[in-house]
């Protein structure tokens, strides 16, 4: 829809009421749609009670979270977010005179009775009504900007200051519309014994403000928050921008979480997703495993130790890991998995997919009711290896509580109170049968 040239001039003519030069910004972003903005701004105070207007803030600010430190007392705060738009202006012009000019230069003038869903109802000077089903072919003219509309979200403070002068004011607030996530790219070598791991962070800013040359910190961990009904002031579009620079994050503990501080300023533009390199690790020792938990398929799992001895040893934020493999000079995608926050010195396991050339046939061959409170079940599992190499399959079985293995064709390991694991070597092109009988009491 075309807006009037008059409205366009109003938008251009509106100016900030606060000198925002010499502004310093720091932004801390959490995984779960939360950002904490900390700023230092130069402001001019007058002795006694005066009004200060702070613009260039997030439209999705939580006004109740604002913290202010200055040489004076803030006795009242208002958050104004009734932003200028064509329909906001028309809403304020109900029962007032407006002008519509068609593409052919025809002038329509009358009292605005309704402006909903792109449709206009005017009362003409002769008392008749003009109804327009759309405004695409009209320019709208109004007399002036209605009171109460602003071009940017604004904090308005009433400040009681002891003295006049220019000073630094510290401001911090919470805002929704900001989040970050980790993205990993792993490349396995030819024999699946090592991998190269590249980590990125994707930082999303939909808070309704741009933070220029900001100090950026990302916090990994599950921070407890009280969930209120959130007011969404804007619905911006999403854009993607990759920041291809050397990784410069420094990781440090923060309470019971981990913080990653970018060691250089960066600009977080509104309506933007930015990617920044987190770290790179080459030659990480890895193991490929075959896991069967029932059914006809065998899962392929790649695992590695997150230790300094294995070229890592840093807290890994939760995120998606995309796994690739070298294949005759090319890099091919072979699967992906999601990891939770992984502390250092822990094992990271990635399910890549299901093995194409390993076939499983599983059947229950016998069942006996031993007594009123116990029974025995016998299982037969046939593993068929159609690969050109031998494999070892970890067959994991959940048995519930109060179980006993009566007999088994292979040794097993008790993983925990309810689960056992058989490790079954299967030569290339061969079949191996696993049988076991379990007695359950209940």
- Looking up residue 417, the CATH number of its domain turns out to be 2.60.40
What pLDDT does 22 receive?
61
Domain that holds residue 268: 178-354
How far is Cα 133 from Cα 140, in angstroms, rounded to an integer?
A: 15
Q: Is 246 helix (H, G, I), strand (E, B) or coil?
A: coil
Residues 6+ apart with CB under 8 A from 374: 439, 440, 441, 442
In a domain, 103, yes or no: yes
**Rounded average pLDDT over 163-190:** 93
In a domain, 162, yes or no: no
Structure tokens at 142: 């109004």
Q: Is 136 helix (H, G, I), strand (E, B) or coil?
A: coil
In a domain, 40, yes or no: no
What pLDDT does 150 receive?
59
In percent, the amount of the chain with pLDDT more than 70 equals 88
The total number of structural domains in the chain stands at 3
Query: Does 218 share its domain with 257?
Result: yes
Q: What is the gyration radius of the CA atoms in the chain, in angstroms?
A: 33
The answer to whether 393 and 298 are in contact (CB under 8 A) is: yes
The answer to whether 45 and 159 are in contact (CB under 8 A) is: yes
What pLDDT does 328 receive?
79
The answer to whether 71 and 161 are in contact (CB under 8 A) is: yes
Query: Does 329 share its domain with 410?
Result: no
Query: Does 310 share its domain with 195?
Result: yes
> Could you read off the pLDDT of 324-360 as tens digits, one per residue?
998 877 899 999 999 999 999 999 999 999 999 999 9
Q: What distances in angstroms separate CA 52 from CA 43, 197, 385, one per listed residue?
A: 8, 50, 75
**Region of poorest pLDDT, from 36-50, 102-116, 281-295, 350-364:** 102-116
In a domain, 78, yes or no: no
**Rounded average pLDDT over 118-146:** 84
The C-alpha angle 288, 293, 299, rounded to 5 degrees, equals: 35
**Does pLDDT of 421 surpass 70?**
yes
User: What pTM did the predictor assign?
Assistant: 0.71
In a domain, 418, yes or no: yes
In a domain, 307, yes or no: yes
Structure tokens at 272: 């933007």
Give residue 389's region: left, alpha or beta (phi > 0; psi -120 to 50).
Answer: beta
The phi and psi torsions of 5 (rounded to 5 degrees) equal: -65, -30
Mean pLDDT, rounded, of the chain: 86
The answer to whether 348 and 303 are in contact (CB under 8 A) is: yes
Query: Does 187 share its domain with 336?
Result: yes
Query: Does 137 share its domain with 260?
Result: no
Query: Does 306 share its domain with 320?
Result: yes
Domain-terminating residue out of 354, 373, 389 = 354
Q: Is 92 helix (H, G, I), strand (E, B) or coil?
A: helix
Strand 272-292 relative to strand 240-243: parallel, antiparallel, unpaired? parallel
In percent, the amount of the chain with pLDDT more than 90 equals 59
The C-alpha angle 366, 369, 373, rounded to 5 degrees, equals: 140
Query: Does 327 share its domain with 376?
Result: no
Query: Does 343 share its domain with 434?
Result: no
Query: Does 237 share its domain with 367?
Result: no
In a domain, 64, yes or no: no
The DSSP call for residue 342 is B
The answer to whether 393 and 292 are in contact (CB under 8 A) is: yes
Query: Does 246 share its domain with 293?
Result: yes
**Does pLDDT of 60 surpass 70?**
yes
Structure tokens at 21: 């030069």
How far is Cα 108 from Cα 131, in angstroms, rounded to an integer?
A: 11
Query: Does 111 share its domain with 248?
Result: no
In a domain, 168, yes or no: no
Residue 124: give its domain's CATH number.
2.30.30.520
Query: Does 367 share its domain with 321?
Result: no
**Rounded average pLDDT over 222-246:** 48
What pLDDT does 82 receive?
66
Q: Is 23 helix (H, G, I), strand (E, B) or coil?
A: coil
């Amino acid at each position: 829809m075309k807006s009037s040239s008059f409205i366009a001039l109003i938008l251009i003519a509106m100016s900030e009421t606060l000198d925002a030069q010499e502004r310093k910004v720091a932004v801390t972003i959490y995984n779960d749609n939360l950002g904490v903005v900390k700023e230092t701004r130069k402001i001019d105070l007058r002795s006694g009670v005066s009004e200060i207007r702070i613009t260039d803030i997030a439209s999705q600010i939580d006004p109740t979270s604002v913290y202010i430190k200055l040489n004076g007392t803030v006795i009242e705060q208002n958050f104004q977010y009734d932003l200028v738009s064509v329909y906001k202006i028309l809403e304020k012009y109900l029962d007032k005179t407006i002008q519509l000019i068609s593409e052919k230069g025809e002038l329509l003038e009358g009292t605005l009775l309704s402006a909903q869903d792109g449709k206009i109802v005017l009362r003409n000077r002769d008392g008749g009504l003009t109804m327009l089903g759309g405004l695409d072919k009209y320019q709208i003219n109004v007399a002036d900007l209605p009171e109460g509309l602003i071009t940017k979200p604004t904090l308005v403070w009433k400040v009681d200051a002891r003295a006049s002068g220019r000073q630094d004011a510290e401001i911090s607030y919470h805002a929704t519309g900001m989040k970050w996530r980790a993205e990993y790219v792993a490349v396995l070598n030819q024999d699946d014994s090592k991998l190269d791991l590249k980590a990125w962070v994707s930082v999303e800013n939909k808070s309704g403000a741009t933070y220029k040359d900001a100090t950026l910190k990302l916090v990994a961990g599950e921070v407890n928050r009280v969930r209120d009904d959130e007011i969404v002031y804007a619905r911006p579009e999403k854009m993607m921008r990759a920041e291809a620079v050397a990784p410069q994050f420094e990781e440090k503990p923060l309470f019971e979480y981990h913080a990653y501080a970018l060691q250089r300023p960066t600009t977080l533009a509104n309506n933007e997703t930015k990617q920044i390199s987190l770290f790179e690790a080459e030659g990480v020792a890895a193991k490929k495993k075959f896991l069967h938990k029932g059914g006809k398929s065998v899962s392929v799992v790649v695992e590695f130790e997150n230790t300094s001895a294995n070229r890592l040893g840093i807290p890994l934020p939760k995120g998606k890991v995309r796994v690739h493999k070298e294949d005759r000079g090319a890099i091919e995608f072979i699967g992906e998995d999601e990891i939770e926050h992984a502390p250092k010195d822990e094992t990271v396991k990635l399910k890549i997919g299901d093995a194409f050339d390993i076939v499983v046939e599983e059947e229950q061959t016998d069942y006996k009711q031993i007594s009123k409170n116990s029974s025995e079940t016998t299982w037969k599992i046939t593993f068929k290896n159609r690969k050109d190499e031998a494999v070892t399959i970890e067959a994991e079985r959940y048995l519930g509580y109060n179980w006993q293995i009566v007999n088994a064709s292979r040794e097993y390991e008790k993983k925990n109170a309810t689960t056992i694991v058989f490790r079954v070597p299967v030569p290339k092109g061969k079949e191996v049968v696993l049988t076991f009988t379990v007695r359950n009491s209940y």
